[in-house]
Amino acid sequence: MNLDALMKTWRGPLTGFLAASGVGLGEAQDLVHDVFAEAYLGRERFRGAWTDGAAVGAFLRGIARNLLRSRRRAARRAPGSLTEEPSAGSPAAPHDDVLVAIATLEPAHREVIWMFYFQETSTREVAHLLGISERAVEGRLYKARAALRPRLAPGREEVTG
């Protein structure tokens, strides 16, 4: 397996995937290191070709979910160790209104927004990671953008620069 290529392709959508699951962005960025480390150490368990995006996506998704579950279990034992995403009532940083708006989206829409926009990512990787079709990803993105538009720019149809 080519670890560098794997990280380059999947880092963005994986971080988005984790961030969309409810852990904070910082936590997701930390967790994604562990996902790649686990993937590398468990590479012998991978069945398929490393060039097969769907197979790799499913493999990474499984690892990410397991790690997330473990992290949450640990957080339950030590409350406060897991940072949650910003709530709708407490925007603090300049971009928090964006994050808060995203947090109010439906889970499926929130997921694709995070995964698609976090880094330079194509809908194909997002689709592979979620195990759905690219058309479904595009549809969700369309609906998510439509839901975000009035929340982030209320009353404006077009902005001139």
Partner 1 sequence: MTADTVLESRLREAMARGQTSDADFAAEVRRRIAAREASSVTADRAGGEVAASVWQRHPTLARAVSLLPPLWLPAGKALATKPAPLALTVLAMPVLIVVMTVLTAFWVWPRALRRRGPARPGVAPSARQEALLAAMSAWWREHLWAVGLGLVLCASVWWFSRAEGLAVLLLGSTAFLVVVLGRLGELQLMDRQQAAGLCGAVLLQVGLGLQGWLLHLDHPSGELALAVLMVGWLTCWWVGGMWQRLGREVGRGWRGLAPMERNLLLACFAPLLVGGLAALGWAGYRVASNSILAGGLAPADEVRRGVRDRSLELAVHSVHAGRRLGLQPDITDLHGRLAAPKAANADRDLTLLGLGLMPLGEGAMEADAIWPARRAPGSIGWLEEVLVRARALRVLGAEDLLARDRHAILAQLGELWDEEVGLLRGWRDSGFPLVRHQLTAVLLFDLFGVPKRVDLVAFRNALAYRRHVRRDLEAKLACAILDAHYPAARPGWAQVLLGYRVLWAAVLLVVITVVMTWRAPRPEELDAA
Gyration radius of the chain's alpha carbons: 17
Q: Among residues 38 and 134, whose Cβ is nearest to partner 1?
A: 38
Cβ-based nearer residue to partner 1, 79 or 161: 161
Q: Which two tokens stand for residue 3?
A: 């670890």
Minimal distance in Å, beta carbon 12 to partner 1? 9
Separation between Cα atoms, residue 68 and residue 49, nearest integer Å: 25
Give me the least distance between CB of 52 and partner 1, in Å please: 11
Q: How far is CA 15 from CA 51, 111, 115, in A?
A: 21, 10, 7
Closer Cβ to partner 1, 58 or 102, answer by number: 102
**Taking the complex as a whole, how short is the minimal distance between the CB of residue 110 and partner 1, in angstroms?**
12
Instruction: Pick the closer one to partner 1 by CB: 11 or 130.
Output: 11
Instruction: From residue 87, give the alpha-carbon distance in Å to each of 13, 28, 100, 114, 137.
Output: 22, 16, 6, 16, 25
**Shortest separation between residue 39's beta carbon and partner 1, angstroms:** 9
Q: Please say which residue, 31 or 127, places its beta carbon nearer to partner 1.
A: 31
In angstroms, rounded to a whole number, what is the distance separating the alpha carbons of residues 100 and 54?
A: 31
| Sequence-separated (6 or more) residues with CB below 8 Å from residue 59 | 39, 46, 48
Interface with partner 1 (CB under 8 A) = 1-5, 7-8, 11, 16, 25-26, 29, 33-34, 36-38, 40-42, 45, 49-51, 66, 70, 93, 95, 98-99, 102, 113-114, 117-119, 145, 148-149, 152-153, 156-161
In the block, tokens 């794997």 appear at 6
At closest approach, how far in Å is the CB of 5 from partner 1?
8
